[in-house]
Amino acid sequence: MAFYWKYTNIKWLLTAFFAVNAAHCIGQTPTRNLDDYLDAAIKGNPILREAANTLKSFALDSQKIAASLGPQVTANGAFGLSPVIGGVGFDPVVTNISPLSALVNVSRDYVSKGNLDARNAALRLLASGTANDVKITEQDLRRSITAQYLTVYADLRQADYYRQLLDALQAARPLVKSLTESNVYHQTDFLTFEVTLKQQELQIHQLAIQTSSDFATLNYLCGISDTTTYGLSLPAMPIATPSNRDTSVFFLRYNIAADLLQNERINLVYSYKPKAGVFANAGYLSSLQYKAWENFGYNFGVNVSVPIYDGHRKKMEEAKIQLRENTNSANKEWFASQFDMEVRHLKQQLAATDALIDEIKVQVSYTEALVDADRKLLGTGDVRISDFVLALNAKITAQYLLTQNTVGRLQIINQINYRNR
């Protein structure tokens, strides 16, 4: 009779356990995916907005260069009075006593096509450098947000596993206590059960604090003020095909820097070329001392500037450019060496993690088999409830370990893709 009573109540325990798990699976929170956070971060990032405006300003600078080469028209007017009283005053030959001018001036500087091309090339290179920096910033942002997203995802999955076990233990506690009071199970079994339950509660509380902090960090990185806790889906992250070194944003910045330095050399040469321009003005210019009504007229001419000696400043500037070119080349070589080592290390990590995941899958299958075996033994009363709880705990731990390493694998792929794009 006692055996029948024990068997009936164990059946109730198993039913309660799986009913709690089913109810837990049904009550799902709203979910978001990685793209939701990436889109929010990229759209609202102030650095990317500033860079977009900087690119627009380069286009305006190019238009300013073109406009500066056309005729420049200005209007100037002036009037002054330098009286001579009793023979005392400024020399009228110098001051013209009361000069009056009202002139329209037109001037134009002539620049060679090569000089103009060099100026525009400098703007294009600066724009290319800014656009490349934008891509690097965006990749940094994607990497950081993806890494934080995966961290939060792991927190949520761990909380799910702990909560499943806690719900099952809480649902079974009244029955276990009753069976212990009826001497069906030993007092030590119930104490072990209580310790396990309290441990799960503490772990869930601790993990809730950690998850809240990690979620806040994710929202902060994305510029999201929403404090709602969402479920997160596991992202699909294939390994990106490595880009060509010449087109990779990380190496392109060194190439752009080299081109800018070469362009700086060209512009330095043009700055020491002779310069020429024309000017003309027309209007009224008079001292008001003699036939002031006839002092309307115009003039025109040519401006020429030829550098002769600058104290060897040109050679000094060329030497400075050479030093910067040497620094850029050395930095590129060092970065390439570090880049290759990092990629090799990440690939080794990925291979080791893949092998570990295969081992963990085997462990998960073992724990599932153990839980199934213990479940059958519970039906006949041949296993202690504490052993069954330990088996459940081992299964959930193995499942979380699988999730943890799956997330770790994605973290490695995130680092590899960051370098491959």
Are residue 10 and residue 38 in the same domain, yes or no? yes
Closest CA to 197 of 216, 217, 175, 171: 171
Q: Please, are residues 62 and 120 in contact by the beta-carbon 8 Å criterion?
A: yes
Which position has the higher pLDDT, 155 or 17?
Answer: 155
pLDDT for 326: 96
Q: Give the end of a domain, one of 306, 325, 348.
A: 306
pLDDT for 28: 56
Are residue 278 and residue 262 in the same domain, yes or no? no
Q: Please, are residues 24 and 167 in contact by the beta-carbon 8 Å criterion?
A: yes
Are residue 118 and residue 209 in the same domain, yes or no? yes
Mean pLDDT lowest for which of 12-16, 157-161, 353-357? 12-16
Are residue 167 and residue 289 in the same domain, yes or no? no
User: Which tens digits make up the pLDDT trace of 21-40?
Assistant: 544 444 456 788 999 999 98
Are residue 279 and residue 314 in the same domain, yes or no? no
pLDDT for 415: 92
Q: Please, are residues 120 and 288 in contact by the beta-carbon 8 Å criterion?
A: no
Query: 3-state SS of the chain: helix, strand, coil percent to 5?
Result: 70, 10, 20
pLDDT for 328: 94
| Structural domain total, the chain | 2
User: Which tens digits make up the pLDDT trace of 127-148?
Assistant: 899 899 988 999 999 999 999 9
User: Which tens digits make up the pLDDT trace of 236-280?
Assistant: 888 888 777 777 888 999 999 999 999 999 999 888 888 888 988
Are residue 414 and residue 286 in the same domain, yes or no? no
Distance from C-alpha of 341 to C-alpha of 281, rounded to nearest angstrom: 68
Mean pLDDT of the chain: 82
Tokens 């090339």 correspond to 121
**Does 65 have pLDDT greater than 60?**
yes
Distance from C-alpha of 376 to C-alpha of 383, rounded to nearest angstrom: 9
pLDDT for 26: 41
pLDDT band at 1 (very low <50, low <70, confident <90, very high): very low
User: Which tens digits make up the pLDDT trace of 187-242?
Assistant: 877 787 788 788 888 888 998 899 999 999 999 998 888 777 788 888 888 888 87
Which position has the higher pLDDT, 251 or 85?
Answer: 251
Are residue 237 and residue 155 in the same domain, yes or no? yes
CATH number at 236 reads: 1.20.1600.10
Which position has the higher pLDDT, 251 or 86?
Answer: 251
- What's the whole-model pTM score? 0.77
CATH number at 95 reads: 2.20.200.10
Mean pLDDT lowest for which of 1-15, 73-87, 173-187, 360-374? 1-15
**DSSP classification of residue 88:** B
- The enclosing H or E element of 214 equals helix 187-222
Residues 6+ apart with CB under 8 A from 139: 249, 418, 421
Are residue 196 and residue 298 in the same domain, yes or no? no
Sign of the CA dihedral running 249, 255, 260, 266: negative
The range of the structural domain enclosing residue 292 comes to 71-110+273-306
Residues 345-359: b if buried by 16+ CB within 10 A, e if exposed: ebeebbeebeeeeee
Are residue 231 and residue 156 in the same domain, yes or no? yes
**Does 10 have pLDDT greater than 50?**
no
Which position has the higher pLDDT, 171 or 272?
Answer: 272
Are residue 204 and residue 248 in the same domain, yes or no? yes
Q: Give the end of a domain, one of 247, 282, 306.
A: 306
Are residue 187 and residue 49 in the same domain, yes or no? yes
pLDDT for 97: 67
Q: Give the end of a domain, one of 306, 321, 356.
A: 306
pLDDT band at 90 (very low <50, low <70, confident <90, very high): low
User: Which tens digits make up the pLDDT trace of 386-403?
Assistant: 677 778 788 888 888 998
Are residue 233 and residue 300 in the same domain, yes or no? no
Sign of the CA dihedral running 121, 122, 128, 131: negative
